Amino acid sequence: MAFTKLPALKGGPAGCLNCGYNHGVLPLDTVLAAGFGSCNVTKGDNFVYNESPHSKEEPPTLAKFEEMAALDPDHDWQVHFYLPLRETSHQRHAPKQWVLVREGEGFA
């Protein structure tokens, strides 16, 4: 393994009742779209996906990137959500396991 697995955080409510829930392990059917904010997927220091508010295509699910990561597992794959009242990062620790490794307050 060519990268460091970050410590897993426990999922749970995100701040207030309106902020949603931070999954300890992100479900593969998660739609990678923030709406107001942004979402991206990284492989090491490279962006593999960066949400575009102008895209006419349906946003992908995490399953698409799980397929890519399964073919190239020796890299640091992460998905990041930057939302008004929270931000999260999930790192791929094992097949089909994208684990919560960072939480933040968001940008608002």
Strand partners for 61: 31
Q: Report which of 43, 49, 16, 34 is spatially closest to residue 88, judged by C-alpha positions.
A: 34
| Contact (Cβ atoms closer than 8 angstroms) between residue 31 and residue 61 | yes
Q: What is the pLDDT of residue 14?
A: 66
Tell me the residue ranges of DSSP E strands in the chain: 12-13, 21-22, 38-43, 46-50, 77-82, 87-94, 97-104
Q: What is the pLDDT of residue 41?
A: 98
Q: Round to whole Å and give the CA distance between 101 and 108.
A: 21
Q: Where are the domains of the chain?
A: 26-104
Q: What is the pLDDT of residue 48?
A: 97
Q: pLDDT tens, position by position, for the chain (108 residues)?
A: 679 999 998 877 665 656 666 788 999 999 999 888 899 999 999 999 999 888 888 999 999 999 999 999 999 999 999 988 889 999 999 999 999 999 988 887
Strand partners for 78: 42, 91
Q: Round to whole Å and give the CA distance between 104 and 58.
A: 27
